[in-house]
Amino acid sequence: MNWIELRALNNLYTNGEVKLNDTLAKSGEINYLINSLRIIDRSHNKLFTLHGFTEIYEKDYLEKYNHYKAFLSDNELLKHQLRFEESDIKVLMRIKEDMDTGNLLPLREQIIKKEATVRIVSLMFFKNEKYLLGKEALINAVKTLLRIEALADDKDLQYKYVLECNNPKCIVLCENIDFLKRPTLARANNIELWYAGGKNVNKLDFSDPRGLPIYYSCDWDFDGLFIIYPLVKEKIPTIQLLTPNGAPRDIDETEHNSKWTTKGRNIDSLLTSKQQKIINELIQNNQWIIEESNDVAEIFPTLHCS
């Protein structure tokens, strides 16, 4: 079982019903309770408790759920979208216990000293070197419990992606990787594209623009402009912000997580008057501009690259 199933069973115990989702519909545990024990009913996209559910839940699930919930909550791992398998939670609990007793401290020091990768840590705790790959929330939980800020290959912290061209005349650093997947226009305009990985800008300490003009392309939202761009500017003082031509989108309608909150932040010195005007309008209208929505066929030829 995973946490979604465990939480759903507890909601059934508390409320008598729960909304059906894809995870619950495919759950072997839930279907066993529906079809074999017949203590849950499924109808109208909901699950309902039947006679006998409370007794079995209290006997087989309640103590376990409360135990896991307390652990996740106490260690600030309890998120609404959490999907940990029950076996994952048990591993995390063992890590926490061994850290508290000091048994894991020598291993923690080795992980840091030898710059262990996600695969190595996965093999240490999950008996499979590939188990943690792509499971960002679980990786972060392991790091939290081990009190380690980053693993050697965590989020590609050590290297950037580069789309090369034959005769580069300038560089565009992209917040997102989308433009690097569309090479034709960049290469036609002698533009070398870089992708460092959003906020992971520390690797730029080792990047050399080679004297070429360099530009920054990003989402025009709070994170892209007020957090990431100033960090990039510290690393590469000559970089210039690209002015977007994409259509603004409503932040709430697109369920975008980067909200405008400029209190205590001023980047006017990093912007042109035109860019300041665009940002002010976006803030007033609660909108943002998605980096990938920009028409690079219009933007790229205007750069000093040809």
| pLDDT for the residue 157 | 62
| pLDDT for the residue 154 | 65
How far apart are alpha carbons 80 and 17 in whole angstroms?
18
The answer to which of 11-15, 73-77, 176-180, 229-233 has the lowest mean pLDDT is 176-180
- The pair of structure tokens assigned to 8 is 């759903």
Task: Please report which residue ranges of 102-243 form alpha helices under DSSP H.
Answer: 105-113, 118-126, 136-146, 183-188, 222, 229-235
| pLDDT for the residue 170 | 94
Place of tokens 């998120």: 79
Give, in order, the Cα–Cα distances in Å from 73 to each of 65, 97, 138, 149.
Answer: 12, 15, 15, 20
How far apart are alpha carbons 128 and 229 in whole angstroms?
38
Place of tokens 């623009």: 209
How far apart are alpha carbons 43 and 25 in whole angstroms?
11
pLDDT surpasses 80 at 53: yes
- Highest mean pLDDT, choosing among 94-103, 147-156, 288-297: 94-103
Arithmetic mean of pLDDT, 96-121: 92
Contact (CB, 8 A) for 45 and 24: no
Give, in order, the Cα–Cα distances in Å from 167 to each of 196, 207, 216.
Answer: 21, 18, 20
Q: Percentage of the chain surpassing pLDDT 90? A: 71
